[in-house]
Amino acid sequence: MPYRREGDLVPEEGSFMKGILNFAGMTLGGWLGWALGAEVSIFTAFIVSVVGTGLGLYAAQRVTRSLLG
């Protein structure tokens, strides 16, 4: 095992999987928001997509905590 100095950044266990789940949640939320908002106008699609992305991230965080601890 290589020598580690104090203050070196060490990735948290499971951080890659958390990132993948966050990305998937944000993508799905943004897509759903865009699909719903596109019925009205492109600006509405953008705004609802941003909200959907945030909600997707929130949901992914909740699922990640319950699955990975």
Strand stretches in 7-50, DSSP E: none
Amino acid 30: pLDDT: 98
Domain annotation covers residue 49: yes
Domain range for 62 is: 16-68
Residue at 57 is within a domain: yes
Position 38 in a domain? yes
**7 within a domain of the structure (yes/no):** no
Residue 26 lies in a domain: yes
pTM over the 0.75 mark: yes
Q: How confident is the model at residue 10 (pLDDT cuts 50, 70, 90)?
A: low
> CA nearest 37: which of 56, 24, 25, 50?
50
